[in-house]
Each structure stands twice: as structure tokens, then as C-alpha cells.
Amino acid sequence: MQCLPGLVPALSSLLGALALLQLSLYLRVPSRYGKHEERLARARGRLPARCAWFLQELPSFLVPALLLALRSPPRLEPLGCRLLCCLFGWHYFYRTFIYPFFTRGRPFPLQLLFFGTLFCIYNGFLQGYYLIYCAEYPNDWCTDIRFTSGLLLFLLGMGINIHSDLLLRQLRKPGEVTYKIPQGGLFTYVSGANYFGEIVEWFGFAIATWSLPAFAFAFFTLCCIGPRAYHHHRYYLKTFTDYPKSRKALIPFVF
């Protein structure tokens, strides 16, 4: 496989367009899974959350791994590029092989699972194809300020995201499906602490790779889970009379 000129900008632009579509569709009405499903039209079929998240996220790990295996020789140079690939793989290893097996979430709608899987194939291909076949970094990219600051942001965001997912999980006993007020960590300041972490993480990745595909994905993440954080926040304010009034939706002290 070779790097086709024009393919990466075209796929990245389409991802940007999908982000805007996502924003226009889900700014007013939340995407219909989790706490926003029962108040809206019920999805026809569902799959247990563990199975659904595993299947949905698997392509984001598998597609770049396959692209790497197809490359001859199957290794990446320079070190900066290798590390960037590892960051993407590391996140999706967690999201595919760890997160689903601990989740206590409700069954996930099949229809969204289908679109979510398509999205993960698309994005896994775009990020993997760019990093494995097209990216060109200088040998000292690891010491570039963009790489180091982006890496720090990525790690900070990932830490917040994993910690917040853990706090959410601890709100329920196994088999429980009720909603409670999240407490602790960044939830002290925002309703969407896990989403805040994920957004910081992917903007960190975009800065570290300094690439169009990664910025397009960070933008998509913002347009996808930013509105969802806002809908979660409204849900909490409506549902719990004792919900902390100082808590914001997504960005501490701001929004």
C-alpha cells in the first residue's frame, strides 16, 4: 500500500463534515443511548453494553494494526511516528479490551452500534493510514514542543477520562441501572468529566501529530460528546433537585 496524494485531505474533510452533521443532529436532541434513550423513541434491538462497546470500538484498534501488518517492512520510523501510533493504539486498546468488560451500562441500540462501528472503521483507517503510510516527521520530532506538549495533554486527558469512567462505574452495583449524582474527581466541577478528558486527549493527540486527520478527529469528538455533556447536564438538573448548582456542563468554571 502507498500514500495516495489527496486521499488523506479528502477523508479528513469528510470527517470534518460528519462532525458538523453530528453537531446539527444532536445539539438539540441527544443521541439515543444511555440516559437519553427512555425519554425518546425506544430503539428496536439492543445488545448488552459489554458486547456492543467491544464490537463498536474493535475496528479502531484492529484496522490500524492490520495496516501496520500490511506494511513491508512492518515497522515505523522515526521514533516520533512510532510513539504517535502507540498513543492511538493505547487508547483503543483500553476502549476495546478493558472499558467494555467493566462497564455497567444499559444495553446499547443496534442501530447506533451499526453507525458507531462504521465510524470506527473509517476513523481507524484514516488515522492509521496517515501515520503508517503518509506521515513524515523529522528524526527529532520527539523533542519538538508540539510533540511534548501534545503528549502531556494526551496523557492528562486520558487520565481524566479513565478516572471519570471509573467514578461513573462505581455509582452502580452490578445489575443496577439507576442514575445517581456523580461525585469526586473532575465531576466536582463538570457533569461531563469523562467527555472533557476525552476531548483534551484527542486535542493533545492532534497537537502531538500536528496532522489534519487528528485535528479532524478531535473536532469530531468535540462535536459528538460536547453536546452530549450539555444534555447530561440538563438531565441532572431536571432529575435531581439537590444537583450542585455551581457545576458546569463540560468546561470547569466556564460552560
Name the residues that contact ligand NDX, by CB under 6 A: 18, 21-22, 25, 31, 34-35, 49, 103-106, 112, 115-116, 119-120, 161, 165, 168, 171-172, 177, 179-180, 182, 194-195, 198, 221, 224-225, 228
CB of 36 to ligand NDX, least distance (A): 8
Q: Alpha-carbon distance 121 to 127, whole Å?
A: 10
Spatial CB neighbours of 68, under 8 Å, sequence gap ≥ 6: 74, 76, 85, 128, 132
In the complex with ligand NDX, the residue whose CB is nearer, 53 or 129, is: 53
CB of 214 to ligand NDX, least distance (A): 12
Closest residue to ligand NDX in the complex (CB): 105
Q: Alpha-carbon distance 7 to 152, whole Å?
A: 30
Sign of the alpha-carbon torsion through 43, 47, 48, 51:
negative
In the complex with ligand NDX, the residue whose CB is nearer, 90 or 144, is: 90
Q: Which helix (H) or strand (E) holds 46?
A: strand 46-47
In the complex with ligand NDX, the residue whose CB is nearer, 104 or 234, is: 104
SS3 assignment, position 57: helix
Q: Alpha-carbon distance 60 to 68, whole Å?
A: 13
Q: Alpha-carbon distance 250 to 198, whole Å?
A: 11
Q: Alpha-carbon distance 211 to 104, whole Å?
A: 35
CB of 128 to ligand NDX, least distance (A): 16
CB of 252 to ligand NDX, least distance (A): 16
In the complex with ligand NDX, the residue whose CB is nearer, 40 or 177, is: 177
Q: Alpha-carbon distance 76 to 142, whole Å?
A: 14
In the complex with ligand NDX, the residue whose CB is nearer, 137 or 215, is: 215
In the complex with ligand NDX, the residue whose CB is nearer, 31 or 211, is: 31
The residue type of 113 is: L
Q: Alpha-carbon distance 48 to 143, whole Å?
A: 44
CB of 247 to ligand NDX, least distance (A): 12
